[in-house]
């Protein structure tokens, strides 16, 4: 049932239309959050995981300032820069050259990356199957399906379709630019190994794609390496011979991407500050129950789908099966970043689920019940993302009941004006603020902060406690002087979040250099 790769103009219009619908839905929570902004406030533009979202803006800010080297701006320790996170640094350069705001460039990149993964998925499906209904079914599941997170919450679980955006296409493209772009690049590399190009492009095309993936999301290469290797082993075993074109494509992948990984390894082992960050950047794998509920019906139907492609020896299906098996194996290996290895897994599972539904389950159902069963399964799979969107929207609208969430998503206009002042007068200086404000300052004010991110602040728990103790007036004079001298703190930010902690007994000894409404900035000589 493999397709010939040809897509008619009409079918392209269908794919682009539905891709547009999916992308529009991904913007809906942001538009509602923006429209619901109360007077005197400004929506931050970040909705999913504000800590990481603001850290991406901080990386973009460094590119906006002209740098191609990354520094940790969430920690005050001076350290050498490194050529990592080039994707976000590059977006910052785009913002500077175009004059567009960082958050606008961020969301433009998010939508373009989302379009890329959806179009790459449909192009793959056209090569995978000649059954137009099956590939459209697979496209819907790839682009919009989730699991049973809504049911998991009732059972006391925390399924991954509510917490791990990189594991799903829709959740990823609603979250940030690099997750959907990474999934698109992963799929292109796998496709290049299954259906290699001719001539020099046989190794150059997958090699350049793998290089791009190494720059966007290097950790995703682990799943790609394992998936391609497993696919080639299975295909070689089935055909009783090594498949030369696929090996050439795999060689190109390694040739272009391994040097980047070696550089990254050197950076994270020789740069003390980045090494300290990497040591506390631990994302453990989810519980098995959370994983199963997170993929829900898609994961369940992927099992018979995988059996079908094994029986038929379908090359593209075997690659998807290898991708799924390799990822699930890696996720539960003893690694620090286990959860991140789930990147993209929802895509191969969704396609296998469509195969299982179309080729295994529906043929067992007679009459008009086929359409009912198909609509029910697809509807339940889509419901997970509708539930996710509802949770995000209700969290935004329920300002009184979700004060902590509101504080992370919105900032006072006074704060925005004060951050612009810092951007003009104090770039790259160390600022002491509450952890909530520290989360926002690097991306919006171009400064370094004493504390502001649970991973990117070195020794984050201790520094967060010290920052809060300062504003509560609990630090002794000696402790405060030691912090000033050790971390070269130059500015103190006092806004609503800091005032809520306490009066800061040392502020009376400092000179205010800027004041806007409820925000005062002090300078330390």
By DSSP bridging, strand 511-516 and strand 519-523 are antiparallel
Helix (H/G/I), strand (E/B), else coil: 190: helix
Q: Yes or no: say if 419 and 444 are a contact pair by the CB < 8 Å rule.
A: yes
Strand partners, 448: 430
pLDDT of residue 36: 94
First-to-last CA distance in the chain?
73
Query: Of 436, 407, 440, whose CA–CA distance to 423 is shortest?
Result: 440
* Alpha carbon distance 232, 246 (integer Å): 7
Retrieve residue 273's tokens.
């500050």
pLDDT tens across the length of the chain (525 residues): 666 667 888 999 999 999 999 999 999 999 999 999 999 999 999 999 999 999 999 999 999 999 999 999 999 999 999 999 999 999 999 999 999 999 999 999 999 999 999 999 999 999 999 999 999 999 999 999 999 988 888 778 889 999 999 999 999 999 999 999 999 999 999 999 999 999 999 999 999 999 999 999 999 999 999 999 999 999 988 887 777 899 999 999 999 999 999 999 999 999 999 999 999 988 899 999 999 999 999 999 999 999 999 999 899 999 999 999 999 999 999 888 888 999 999 999 999 999 999 999 999 998 889 899 999 999 999 999 999 999 999 988 888 778 888 999 999 999 999 999 999 999 999 999 999 999 999 999 999 999 999 999 999 999 999 999 999 999 999 999 999 999 999 999 999 999 999 988 889 888 899 999 999 999 998
**How far, CA to CA in Å, does 24 sit from each of 29, 49, 103, 115, 174?**
10, 20, 17, 11, 10
* Alpha carbon distance 209, 189 (integer Å): 6
Query: Of 451, 458, 417, whose CA–CA distance to 435 is shortest?
Result: 451
* Alpha carbon distance 62, 74 (integer Å): 12
Query: Of 298, 320, 323, whose CA–CA distance to 309 is shortest?
Result: 320
Retrieve residue 12's tokens.
């392209």
Q: How does DSSP assign 230-273, residue by residue?
A: HHHHHHHHHHTS--HHHHHHHHHHHHHHHHHHHHHHHHHHH-HH
pLDDT of residue 195: 95
Q: Yes or no: say if 125 and 352 are a contact pair by the CB < 8 Å rule.
A: no
CA 167-171-173 angle, to 5 degrees, is 105
Q: Where are any strands of DSSP class E within 1-123? A: 41-43
Instruction: Write down the pTM of the prediction.
Output: 0.96
Sign of the C-alpha dihedral computed for residues 341, 343, 346 and 351 taken in this order: negative
pLDDT of residue 508: 84
Q: Yes or no: say if 70 and 59 are a contact pair by the CB < 8 Å rule.
A: yes
């Amino acid at each position: 049932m493999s397709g010939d790769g040809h897509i008619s103009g009409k079918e392209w219009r269908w794919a682009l239309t539905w891709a547009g619908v999916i992308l529009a839905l991904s913007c809906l929570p942001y538009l509602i959050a923006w429209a619901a902004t109360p007077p005197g406030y400004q929506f931050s533009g970040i909705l999913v995981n504000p800590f990481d979202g603001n850290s991406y803006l901080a990386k973009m800010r460094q590119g906006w300032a002209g740098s191609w080297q990354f520094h940790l701006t969430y920690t005050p320790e001076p350290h050498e820069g490194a050529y990592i996170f080039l994707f976000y640094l590059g977006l910052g350069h785009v913002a500077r050259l175009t004059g567009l705001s960082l958050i606008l460039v961020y969301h433009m990149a998010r939508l373009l990356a989302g379009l890329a993964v959806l179009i790459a998925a449909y192009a793959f499906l056209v090569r995978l199957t000649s059954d137009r209904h099956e590939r459209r079914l697979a496209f819907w599941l790839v682009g919009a399906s989730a699991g049973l997170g809504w049911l998991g919450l009732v059972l006391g679980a925390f399924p991954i379709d509510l917490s791990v955006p990189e594991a799903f296409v829709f959740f990823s493209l609603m979250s940030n630019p690099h997750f959907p772009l990474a999934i698109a690049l992963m799929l292109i590399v796998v496709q290049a190994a299954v259906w290699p190009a001719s001539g020099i492009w046989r190794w150059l095309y997958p090699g350049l794609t793998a290089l791009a993936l190494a720059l966007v999301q290097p950790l995703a290469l682990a799943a790609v390496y394992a998936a391609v290797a497993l696919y080639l082993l299975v295909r070689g075993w089935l055909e009783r011979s090594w498949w030369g074109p696929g090996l050439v494509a795999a060689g190109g992948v390694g040739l272009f991407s391994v040097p980047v990984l070696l550089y990254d390894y050197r950076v994270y082992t020789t740069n003390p500050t980045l090494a300290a960050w990497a040591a506390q950047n631990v994302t453990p794998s989810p519980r098995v129950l959370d994983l199963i509920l997170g993929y829900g019906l898609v994961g369940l139907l992927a099992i018979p789908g995988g059996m079908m492609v094994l029986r038929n020896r379908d090359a593209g299906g075997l690659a998807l099966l290898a991708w799924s098996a390799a990822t699930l194996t890696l996720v539960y290996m003893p690694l620090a970043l286990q959860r991140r290895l789930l990147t993209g897994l929802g895509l191969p599972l969704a396609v296998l689920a469509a195969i299982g539904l179309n080729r295994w389950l529906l043929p067992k159902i007679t009459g008009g019940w086929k359409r009912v069963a198909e609509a029910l399964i697809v509807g339940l799979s889509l419901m997970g993302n509708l539930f996710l969107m509802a949770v995000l929207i209700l969290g935004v609208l329920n300002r009184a009941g979700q004060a902590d969430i509101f504080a992370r998503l919105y900032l006072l206009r006074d704060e925005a004006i004060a951050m612009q002042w810092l951007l003009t007068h104090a770039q790259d200086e160390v600022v002491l603020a509450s952890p909530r404000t520290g989360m926002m300052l690097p991306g919006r004010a171009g400064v370094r902060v004493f504390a502001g991110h649970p991973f990117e602040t070195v020794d984050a728990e201790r520094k967060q406690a010290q920052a809060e103790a300062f504003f509560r007036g609990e630090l002794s004079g000696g402790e405060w002087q030691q912090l000033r001298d050790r971390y070269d703190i130059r500015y103190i930010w006092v806004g609503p979040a800091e005032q809520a902690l306490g009066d800061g007994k040392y502020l009376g000894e400092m000179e205010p250099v800027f004041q806007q409404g409820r925000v005062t900035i002090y300078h330390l000589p």
